[in-house]
Structures are given as structure tokens and as C-alpha cells.
């Protein structure tokens, strides 16, 4: 979806220098991707660290989230390779495959939140690690439904890709509405917890609406214009370029949303900051022990406790 070629008819604007336009477009896209990677890579590393702690504490609850971040990582790799070298057909198909997979895992996360709020008893009795892994395997094969297969390769066309990307949006909207209704009948949750649950789902819906939906809509517009207005492409190309950049931001938005949705986001940031200063603290303590050996101090160690998965509390081991 984000990288399909658009044919240009020169009759749309004889005075318009298309070669200059495409050169500026390529330069702007490369600059945007490399600037985005400077922010995206550290955030993704922090997200992977947070996922490691979640896997230790709640393995079943982390399956869909970990698969979502994995698909985002594949998207980032494809974007960087395509920007550094060139967008080949195989690379475009790999990118579209990981994009579709990521959208469906996002829908799985929203549906899981809906079940947890609206049907908690059923969710706790049926939810298991094996079931989550089985659903994840199915999701990884979902893009094949919308792909054309020419052995040994697969390829994606505009209409199937647009439909494939629109279905998760409908699922997320239904889950958001169902969660709102479930929270209105819930008496065990406080007002603050209700706002946090609705806020997280609303941010997911908002992210999809502004980053993915414009590209999906433009896909259908392109199909219409190709059939009925084959000579009007100038405005279409500009809009296509903007929506392409929006889709590139989607992996970063997923990672930021996951970090903000964690209940221990403050403790996580403190632990990372404390662990970064661990080496300097140890060096200063070693120098102090050389001056006064009798008053040597032990090293301060920062660790995130996995003993309380519900709160993800932070345990800081003080010096003895």
C-alpha cells in the first residue's frame, strides 16, 4: 500500500517539471526516514526491554503485544533497507505483509481488552498461552488471503490491500464501542481505571485514523481515478506522498502507545535512568574504597520486580 507505483501522464501539467518533483520527493522521503529512525530505534529498544519484563511476569498477556512489536520491527527494517538501497518488488511485498500483520495484531489487542472488560469471567477461564500462540500463528498467515500467489512469490494489489487494512479498523471501532458499554455496567472499577482503559483504546483508534486510514482511503481513490480519470494525477501524487510518510510513522506510534499504556511507565523510566548511572556509581564507590577500605560500599543495583505482575512494581536494592 505504501509503496505501490503511480503512473504519471505528462498531459496533466506540461509546465510541471516531473523529474524535479520526483527528485525532491525522493530526497524528502530519505531525510524523513533517517530522521525518524533516530527517534524510532531508541524507542523500539526501550519497548523491547519493557516487553522482556512483561514476558517474565505475564507470558499469556504479552503474546499479541510482542507479535505487534515484532511486525513493527520488520516494517522498520524494510523501510531502512528500501531507503538505503531501493524498493524492489520483494521488499515492497515484505513490507506490506508485515504491515497487514501488525494491523491485525493491533485489532487482537483491542479485542482482548474488550473481552477483559465486558466478559471477565469468560476471558479468565478461556484465556491461555497456548490459545494466544495459536491465534498468533493464524494471524501471520492472514495476509496470504489477500495476496496473489505466483509460485514461489506472492504479490499484493491495491484493492485487496485496501480491504485487508480496512477490516482491523472496523474491529477496533466495534471493540471501542463494546468496551464503553462494558465499562458503563462495571461497578468494580474506579473512575480513574475506566478513563485509562478508554483512553488507551481511544489512542489506538486515533492512531489508526490519522496514520493508516488516509492511505487506505487513497488506495480506493486511486482505483477509481485509474478507471474514470486517467489524466488527473498531480494532486493524487502529492496526497499519496503525504500518506506514505504517515504510514512510516505507524511503528513508532505503536511503541510509544505501548509504553504509555503500561501502568509502570514511570518506574520503567526510573529504572533505565538508574541502570545507566550504575557504572559511574560503581566507579565512584571503588575510588572511595581505595581511600578508606574500611568503609567500602556495595554496588547499587536497579531491578524491576516480576513478583507482582499486576502492578509491575519497581524494587530498588539500596546499599548495605
Answer yes or no: is 38 within a domain.
yes
- Say how far apart CA 11 and CA 7 lie, in whole Å: 12
Spatial distance between the Cα atoms of 50 and 264, rounded to a whole number of angstroms: 10
Q: Tell me, yes or no, whether 3 lies in a domain.
A: no
- Number of structural domains (the chain) is 2
pLDDT of 230 higher than 80: no
Segment 52-80 mean pLDDT:
84
Q: For residue 295, how many other CB atoms are within 10 A of its CB?
A: 8
Residues 253 and 127 in one domain: yes
Q: Are residues 253 and 287 in the same domain?
A: no
What per-residue confidence (pLDDT) applies to 258?
83
Note the pTM of the prediction, 2 decimals: 0.74
pLDDT of amino acid 241: 82
Q: How far apart are CA 4 and CA 2, in angstroms?
A: 6
Q: In this structure, are 255 and 309 located in the same domain? A: no
Residue 161 has pLDDT above 50, yes or no: yes
Burial of 40 (0-12, 13-18, 19+ CB in 10 A): buried
Mean pLDDT of the chain: 75
pLDDT in tens, 74-110: 999 999 999 888 888 889 999 999 999 999 999 998 9
In this structure, the answer to whether residues 21 and 137 fall within a common structural domain is: yes
With respect to residue 4, please indicate whether it lies within any of the assigned structural domains.
no
Query: Is 215 inside a domain boundary?
Result: yes
Q: What is the DSSP letter of 11?
A: G
Give 113-143 pLDDT, tens digit per residue.
Answer: 888 888 888 888 888 888 889 999 999 999 9
Sign of CA dihedral 244, 245, 246, 248: positive
- Of 81-90, 141-150, 235-244, 256-265, least confident by mean pLDDT is 256-265
3-state helix, strand, coil in the chain (%, to 5): 75, 5, 20
240-250 mean pLDDT: 89
At residue 231, the pLDDT reads 59
Whether 116 and 186 have beta carbons less than 8 Å apart is answered as no
Per the structure, the complete domain to which residue 258 belongs is given by: 10-262
Do 247 and 298 have their domain in common?
A: no
Per-residue pLDDT tens over the stretch 69-80: 999 999 999 999
Calculate the alpha carbon distances from 236 to 75, 223, 226, 310, 311 in Å. 24, 11, 11, 49, 49
Q: Is the peptide bond before 152 cis (omega within 30 degrees of 0)?
A: yes
Give the pLDDT of residue 209: 92
Whether residues 163 and 278 fall in one domain:
no
In a domain, 150, yes or no: yes
Structure confidence at residue 194 as a pLDDT band (50, 70, 90): confident
Whether 271 and 304 have beta carbons less than 8 Å apart is answered as: yes
* Cα–Cα distance, 205 to 250 (Å, whole number): 12
Residues 285 and 222 in one domain: no
Residue 6 has pLDDT above 60, yes or no: no
Residue 269 counted as domain residue: no
Residue 293 has pLDDT above 70, yes or no: no
Same domain as 156, residue 28: yes
**318, 300 in Cβ contact below 8 A?**
yes
- DSSP-derived letter for residue 188 is S
In a domain, 5, yes or no: no
Confidence at residue 14, expressed as pLDDT on a 0 to 100 scale: 44
Distance set, CA 288 to CA 137, 278, 302 (Å) = 55, 15, 21
Amino acid at each position: 500500500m505504501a509503496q505501490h507505483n503511480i503512473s504519471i501522464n505528462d498531459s496533466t501539467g506540461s509546465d510541471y517539471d516531473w523529474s524535479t518533483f520526483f527528485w525532491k520527493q525522493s530526497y524528502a522521503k530519505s531525510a524523513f526516514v533517517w530522521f525518524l529512525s533516530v527517534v524510532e530505534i531508541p524507542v523500539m529498544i526501550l519497548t523491547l526491554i519493557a516487553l522482556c519484563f512483561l514476558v517474565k511476569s505475564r507470558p499469556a498477556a504479552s503474546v499479541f503485544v510482542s507479535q505487534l512489536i515484532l511486525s513493527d520491527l520488520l516494517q522498520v527494517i524494510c523501510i531502512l533497507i528500501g531507503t538505503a538501497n531501493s524498493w524492489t518488488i520483494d521488499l515492497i511485498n515484505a513490507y506490506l505483509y508485515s504491515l497487514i500483520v501488525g494491523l491485525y495484531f493491533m485489532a487482537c489487542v483491542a479485542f482482548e481488552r474488550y473481552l477483559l472488560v465486558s466478559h471477565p469471567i469468560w476471558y479468565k477461564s478461556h484465556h491461555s498461552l497456548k490459545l494466544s500462540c495459536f491465534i498468533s500463528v493464524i494471524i501471520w498467515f492472514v495476509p496470504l488471503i489477500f495476496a496473489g500467489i505466483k509460485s514461489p512469490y506472492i504479490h499484493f494489489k491495491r484493492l485487496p490491500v485496501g480491504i485487508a487494512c480496512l477490516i482491523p479498523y472496523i474491529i477496533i471501532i466495534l471493540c471501542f464501542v463494546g468496551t464503553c458499554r462494558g465499562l458503563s455496567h462495571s461497578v468494580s472499577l474506579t473512575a480513574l481505571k475506566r478513563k485509562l482503559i478508554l483512553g488507551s483504546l481511544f489512542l489506538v483508534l486515533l492512531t489508526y485514523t490519522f496514520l493508516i486510514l488516509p492511505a487506505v482511503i487513497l488506495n480506493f481513490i486511486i482505483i477509481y481515478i485509474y478507471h474514470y480519470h486517467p489524466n488527473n494525477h498531480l494532486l493524487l501524487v502529492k496526497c499519496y506522498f503525504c500518506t506514505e510518510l504517515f504510514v512510516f510513522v505507524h511503528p513508532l506510534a505503536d511503541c510509544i502507545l505501548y509504553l504509555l499504556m503500561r501502568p509502570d511507565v514511570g518506574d520503567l523510566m526510573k529504572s533505565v535512568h538508574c541502570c545507566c548511572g550504575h557504572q559511574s556509581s560503581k566507579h565512584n564507590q571503588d575510588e572511595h574504597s581505595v581511600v578508606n577500605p574500611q568503609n567500602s560500599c556495595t554496588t547499587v543495583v536497579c531491578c524491576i520486580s516480576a513478583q507482582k505482575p499486576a502492578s509491575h512494581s519497581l524494587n530498588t536494592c539500596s546499599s548495605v
